[in-house]
Amino acid sequence: MIKQLENNMKEERNKGINNPMFGKHHTEEARNKIREARLGKKMPEWHKEIMRKKAIENNPMKNKEVAVKVSTALKGKIFSEEHRKNISLSKIGIPSWNKGKHRYWISGTRKGHKFGPMNEEHREKIREAFIGKNKGMIAWNKGKTFPEYSGENNPAWLGGKSFEPYTKDFNKSFKEAIKQRDGFMCLKCGLREEDNKKLFNHSLNVHHINYDKNLSIKENCCSLYTRCHIETNTNRESWKKFYQSLLSERYGYKYSEDGLPIINIVGGKI
């Protein structure tokens, strides 16, 4: 303890300009001698603690000017594979800076809180904020019509498929069976139906993969979160192949080259 106090006093005396080595540098020969003298010797814990505190207090990256200089110098610089590997090895065992501060994305929507749905208080605050902003506002398209982009003039027009009625077998029990098969999760993004209800106040949608409303069979339907379902309104052929490949991989369903489901009939039943 006495030795530690003496060393502390000595350190205070030799600070800054009072240090005999202030503004000077050791020669290479002197450095080698110091290195050899320290070789095999263990630094005492109190000395390690002093060095830790100094490193934290004198961290150059806390200085904004230094941080900007370092950032500018590294901008656009490409490190070699060996350098990257060394950096990676040096980080082993060090906890990540964002540990415990994770944010998650649901189909491109960022939620500014930890894992799990929003609590009621958070939702109420968001609701109030929107009410305040939208008060007295009128929709930009209220009372306006765009005949040049409606019906057959719309580039996405497919002969009025969206107005076609669904068949009687596309009922509540069929939809529940499809959602149960998919684990009550969106086939694309994996959002659970219970979270969808809490966050957006509605259930999962059941989508006809080949857009034929008359073909309501398990090989042609899947569960989708509303935003994922909206995506299927464009590039239909790509989405049809995408979801058929997912069902084929997950449930072993087969499809013809024309994209029609191949149904196995056993004992007269599908």
Task: Indicate the Cα dihedral angle 56, 57, 60, 63, nearest 10°.
Answer: 120
Look at residue 106 in the predicted model and tell me its pLDDT: 41
Highest average pLDDT, of 7-16, 62-71, 102-111, 203-212, comes from 203-212
Domain assignments of the chain as residue spans, ordered by start: 166-262
- Tell me which of 92-96, 118-122, 168-172 is least confident: 118-122
The answer to whether residue 267 scores a pLDDT higher than 60 is no
The answer to whether residue 162 scores a pLDDT higher than 50 is yes
The answer to whether residue 25 scores a pLDDT higher than 80 is yes
Q: What is the 3-state secondary structure (H, E, C) of 76-105?
A: CCCCCHHHHHHHHHHCCCCCCCCCCCCCEE
pLDDT one-digit tens code per residue, 230-259: 889 888 888 999 999 999 988 989 898 877
Look at residue 172 in the predicted model and tell me its pLDDT: 92
Look at residue 194 in the predicted model and tell me its pLDDT: 85
Tokens of 195: 């979270």
Supply φ then ψ for residue 241, to 5 degrees. -65, -40
| This prediction's pTM | 0.42
Give 167's DSSP letter: P
Look at residue 129 in the predicted model and tell me its pLDDT: 67
In whole numbers, what is the pLDDT of the chain averaged over residues? Answer: 76
Compute the distance between CA of residue 96 and CA of residue 113 in angstroms, rounded to an integer.
18
pLDDT one-digit tens code per residue, 27-55: 889 888 888 888 888 888 888 888 888 88
